[in-house]
Amino acid sequence: MSSIPKNEQNQKQVQILNELSKRKVVEHNSLITSIAKMDKTPLKMFELAVSCIDTEEPPKDHTVYLSKEELFTFFKVSDNDKHSRFKEAVEKMQKQAFFKIKEKKEHGFEFENIVPIPYVKWTDYHDEVTIRFSPEIMPYLINLKKNFTQHALSDISELNSKHSIILYRWLSMNYNQYEHYSYKGGRREEQVEAYRNPSISIRELREMNDIVNEYKLFADLEKWILKKPLEEINDHTSFTVTYDKVKKGRSIDSIVFHITKKRRADDNSYKLEDKVYQEDKARKTETEDMLTVQALKSPYTKLLMEHFLLSYLDLTDTKILSGLQAHVYPLYDELKDLRGLNGVKDHLSYVRAKREDYSKKNITKYLKKAIEQYLSTVKRQDL
């Protein structure tokens, strides 16, 4: 950080330009899921300002300091009109921008409308910009012990629509929880996976994007709220995201996203020289190959094909086949012992009839969950 003197007694810290790529934005989840009543420029300016907060030593006066050059770099503005455009953006942010926050409390929901940045000061002869947060927004930005999300400022800088930013923040919130519980534990496996494959209803998606009365046709909503934002997110952030549409009756009721995090080329490079790691990897590969061969010979694989729960393409996927052999087929054996082979066939017919589109992303887990639930019912009936 470099400092810019205001007077002889007082010097204030200003973030230097090359730190932008290292900065993180930390916000309470209630702020992530709130309705951002603003367009992309105020929202990005807010994110930039939040990234300046030192969460270890938050500013007591709720004030942070930026440089105008940093702002122009963040917004990729270089034309001669940039100063007047900056002024217009600040005025718009203060007059129009606020968050509608809904937070669950003991006796119900609490609602707040908060103007996040009521005070901005700058001059035409100095590089420094003073930004003061409202006292009401600060609890959502500091002293966050739980239910908070951290994401990269550099990812936000590359997004060029409000809806891309909103969706990225929401996806980050879910993936943060996936990483947290994967490492710390405290959740069942299916709960952890749900954070990496989060679902949101169309109603919630509309509310979060402040488009309750817009894009009445789903095709329009899908284009502007899903496809185009995800194209930006996949191109410019650390995430790769796909989605499935889940129907209820004849209408699309919700969206299930599937998030993976891109890896840099050097993320696992240290493992290349690790002999123990390489030996363990070889053992796992050998075990997977053995399970795959067993699965190909199993009568259950043929039954799954006959019930259209496996495709010919799936037969080339060693992870699917080894997973079925290790985790699903032993449960089919249990059902066969209790109800005979016809009992297994009846179960697969039912699974096929009730199958949802999102299950195609992880057929092994879907079949495992289905047989576990059914076996539990069968065993209770036999008591």
Per-residue pLDDT, averaged over 80-89, amounts to: 78
9 has pLDDT over 60: no
Asked if 176 and 150 sit in the same domain, the reply is no
Asked if 11 and 117 sit in the same domain, the reply is yes
Asked if 9 and 89 sit in the same domain, the reply is yes
355 has pLDDT over 70: yes
Give the angle 67-71-75 at the CA atoms, nearest 5°.
165
Q: CB–CB of 166/36 below 8 Å?
A: yes
56 has pLDDT over 90: no
In a domain, 37, yes or no: yes
Q: Which residue did the predictor score with more confidence, 268 or 30?
A: 30
279 has pLDDT over 70: no
Name the E strands within the chain.
2-5, 11-14, 24-28, 35-37, 63-67, 98-105, 108-114, 119-122, 128-132, 148-152, 199-201, 239-248, 251-261
**Over the range 90-108, which residues count as b (16 or more CB within 10 Å of their CB) and which as e?**
beebbeebbbebebeeeee
Asked if 1 and 113 sit in the same domain, the reply is yes
6 has pLDDT over 50: no
Quote the pLDDT of residue 19: 67
Asked if 144 and 9 sit in the same domain, the reply is yes
Asked if 80 and 20 sit in the same domain, the reply is yes
Beta pairing class for 35-37 and 98-105: antiparallel
In a domain, 100, yes or no: yes
Give the angle 129-100-230 at the CA atoms, nearest 5°.
80
Which residues on neighbouring strands pair with residue 319, listed in sequence order? none
Q: Give the whole-angstrom CA distance, residue 347 versus residue 53.
A: 56
pLDDT band at 2 (very low <50, low <70, confident <90, very high): very low
In a domain, 125, yes or no: yes
In a domain, 232, yes or no: yes
Asked if 64 and 184 sit in the same domain, the reply is no
Per-residue pLDDT, averaged over 149-156, amounts to: 89
pLDDT band at 5 (very low <50, low <70, confident <90, very high): very low
Q: Which two tokens stand for residue 330?
A: 């032993």
In a domain, 267, yes or no: no
Quote the pLDDT of residue 272: 44
Q: Which two tokens stand for residue 247?
A: 């129907």
**Which residues have CB under 8 Å from 164's CB, separation 6+?**
228, 229, 232, 233
Asked if 202 and 77 sit in the same domain, the reply is no
Q: Any idea which of 146-150, 184-188, 224-228 has the lowest mean pLDDT?
A: 184-188
Q: Give the whole-angstrom CA distance, residue 78 versus residue 94.
A: 23
Domains of the chain: total: 3
Range of the domain at 355: 272-381
Domain C-terminal end among 243, 262, 281: 262
Question: What percent of the chain has pLDDT above 70?
Answer: 87
Beta pairing class for 35-37 and 108-114: unpaired
In a domain, 204, yes or no: yes
Asked if 6 and 135 sit in the same domain, the reply is yes
- Between the CA of residue 192 and those of 32, 61, 177, what are the distances in Å? 20, 39, 8
* Ramachandran bin of 136, using left for φ above 0, alpha for ψ from -120 to 50, beta for the remaining angles: alpha
Q: Which two tokens stand for residue 92?
A: 């718009």
Asked if 170 and 227 sit in the same domain, the reply is yes
Quote the pLDDT of residue 1: 39
Asked if 234 and 304 sit in the same domain, the reply is no
In a domain, 373, yes or no: yes
The count of residues in the chain is 383
Quote the pLDDT of residue 240: 95
Quote the pLDDT of residue 3: 39
Domain C-terminal end among 235, 262, 289: 262
Asked if 134 and 224 sit in the same domain, the reply is no
Q: Give the whole-angstrom CA distance, residue 274 versus residue 177.
A: 30
242 has pLDDT over 70: yes
Quote the pLDDT of residue 282: 62
Give long-range contacts, CB 8 A cutoff, 24+ apart: 290-293: 291/321, 291/322, 291/325, 291/326, 292/318, 292/321, 292/322, 292/325
Per-residue pLDDT, averaged over 222-245, amounts to: 95
359 has pLDDT over 80: no
* Ramachandran bin of 215, using left for φ above 0, alpha for ψ from -120 to 50, beta for the remaining angles: left
